[in-house]
Structure 1
Amino acid sequence: MRRRLFWWEAGGFAATAVLGTLLHFTYDWSGRWVVAAAFSAVNESTWEHMKLLFVPLFLVTVVQVCFLGRTYANFLAVRASSALVGLALIPTLFYTYTGILGYHLMWADIAVFLLADLGMFVLDFRLLSTGRRGALWQQIAGLLVLWGLAFLFVWFTFRPPVLGLFLDPTTMRYGLPQ
C-alpha cells in the first residue's frame, strides 16, 4: 500500500512540476485570453508563482481523490495541509535567498518552485501514511481550504491587493498587464 501511495505522490510531484512550468507561459501563448489568466501566471509576482504550484496541485488532487480518497480517509485534510506548506515555502525560500543575495537568479527561482513542490508531496506522503486527520470535520475543512485557495488565486488575479506579494517586479504593477 505504501508503494502504491509513493508512486501516486511521485506522479503528483512530476505532474505539478511540468504543468506548473507550462502554466508560466500559457497566458501569453493564449494571446492574453482572460480565461487563461484565471489559471496561468499573468505576471512575475510571487503570488502568481504560487498559483503555478497550486493550480496543478488542485488538478492532481481531483484525480487522486477519485483513486485514493476511499483508501485514505484523511486525504483532503492532508492535501490541504501540504498545499499550505508548499505555498508558504515559495515566498519563504524566495525572499530568504533574495534577501541574502540582494538579487534573484533564474535557476534559484526554478529550484524554489521545485523544492516547494517536493516539500509539499513529501509532507503529503508522510501525513497520508500516518492515517491521522481522518475525522469528517477535518475532511470538510480540507475541502473548504482547497476550494478557498482556488477562489483566492482566481480572485486576486483580477483584483490583487496592493501588497508586495502581488507586485510584479518587472513592471512595478499589480495584476493583469495593461
Structure 2
Amino acid sequence: MGKRLRNWETGGFFWTVLAGTALHFLYDWTGGAVWAAVISAVNESVWEHMKLLLVPVFLFTLVQQAALGRQYPNLPAARAVSLLAALAFLPAAYYAYTGALGVHALWADILLFVLAAALLFALDCRLLRRGTFDAGWQQAAGLLALWALVFVFAWCTFRPPDFPLWQDPARAFS
C-alpha cells in the first residue's frame, strides 16, 4: 500500500509542476478566453501564480479520490491541509526573498513553485499514511475547503482585491 501511495504522490507532484507550467501560458494561448482565466494565470501577480498550484492539485485530487478513496478515506482533509500549507508557503517565500534581496528573479519563482508542490505532496503523503484527519466532519470540511478555494480563486480573478498579493508587479513598474 505504501509504494502505491508514494507512486500516486510522485505522479501528483510531476503532474502539478507540468500542468501548472502549462497553465501559466494558457490564458495568452487562448487569446484571453474567459474559461482560461478561471483556471490559469491572467497576470503576473502572486495570487495568479498560486492558482497554478491550486488547479492541477484540485484536478489530481478528483482523480486520486476516485482511485484511492477507499484505501485513504482521509484524502479530502489531508489534501486540503497540504494544499493550504503549500498555498501559504508561496507568498510567504516570495515576499521573504524579494524583501530580503530587493530583487525579483524568475528562476527563484520557478524554484518556489516546485518547492511548494514538493512540500504539498510530501506533507500529503505523511498525513495519508498516518491516517490523520479521518473523522467524517474533517472530510466534509476538507471537501468544503477544496471547493471553496476553487471558487475564491476564480472569483478573485475577475474581482481582485486592491492588495499587493493580487496586483500585477509587471504593471506596477510600467
- Is the TM-score greater than 0.5? yes
Q: Is 2:168 the partner of 1:168?
A: yes
Query: Normalised by the size of structure 2, how large is the TM-score?
Result: 0.98
Q: Is 2:19 the partner of 1:22?
A: no
Q: Is 2:102 the partner of 1:122?
A: no
1:57-76 equivalences in 2 (<5 Å): 57-76=57-76
Q: Which amino acid aligns with 1:79?
A: R
Aligned to 1:72, what secondary structure does the other structure show?
A: coil
1:1-178 equivalences in 2 (<5 Å): 1-172=1-172
Q: Distance in 2 between matches of 1:33 and 1:160?
A: 18
Aligned length in residues: 173
Moved over 3 A (4+): none
Q: Which amino acid aligns with 1:160?
A: P
Bigger share in helix:
2
Q: Which amino acid aligns with 1:7?
A: N
How large is the Cα RMSD of the aligned pairs?
0.9
Instruction: Give the C-alpha shift of residue 44 in structure 1.
Output: 0.2
Sequence identity percentage: 56
User: Deviations 1:16-57 (Å, cap 9, x if unpaired)?
Assistant: 000000000000000111111000100000000000000000
- Specify every segment of 5 or more residues in structure 1 that has no aligned partner in the other structure, as ranges: 174-178
- Specify every segment of 5 or more residues in structure 2 that has no aligned partner in the other structure, as ranges: none
Q: Distance in 2 between matches of 1:20 and 1:118?
A: 13
Q: Distance in 2 between matches of 1:115 and 1:93?
A: 10
Q: Distance in 2 between matches of 1:87 and 1:144?
A: 16
User: Deviations 1:64-104 (Å, cap 9, x if unpaired)?
Assistant: 00011110111100000000001011001111111111011
Q: Which amino acid aligns with 1:138?
A: Q
Q: Distance in 2 between matches of 1:109 and 1:99?
A: 14
